[in-house]
Amino acid sequence: MMDKKFPRRALLKGALAGLAAIPVVAIVSRAEAAAAKVDPNDPQAKSLGYVTDTSKVDAKANPTHKAEQKCAGCVQYQGKAGDAAAPCTIFAGKLVEGNGWCKVWAKKP
């Protein structure tokens, strides 16, 4: 049997490298999660009548909807008016289409 000792310095270097990688992995996973768009088939999205294109809203199911109502003009939309997609306070951690719409729409002041 070989009796080799593992140097303490090598062990410490490996441990420090592993610890240094943890924040990098956390940042990458947060960025990926933030980039995920809301799926219109998601149960929450369905319950709120979310659509990715405001022109495709079912008028019978949503009689208060108006064509000019878009996510980009909603108080819940966290991006700028010209952004194609941005975070929404209703769908935490996900992006909504700027041209989308849901039943929670409220005009930005």
Give per-residue pLDDT as tens, 61-107. 999 999 999 999 999 999 987 899 999 999 988 999 999 999 999 99
Q: Mark whether 28 and 73 lie in a shared domain.
A: no
Domain that holds residue 78: 37-109
47 located within any domain: yes
How many domains does the structure of the chain reveal? Answer: 2
57 located within any domain: yes
104 located within any domain: yes
Give per-residue pLDDT as tens, 12-51. 777 777 667 677 655 555 555 556 999 999 999 999 999 9
Q: Mark whether 56 and 88 lie in a shared domain.
A: yes
- Helix, strand or coil, per DSSP, at residue 77: strand
Tokens 């009689």 belong to which residue? Answer: 63
Rg (C-alpha) for the chain, rounded Å, is: 23
2 located within any domain: no
- What is this structure's pTM? 0.67
Q: Mark whether 97 and 57 lie in a shared domain.
A: yes
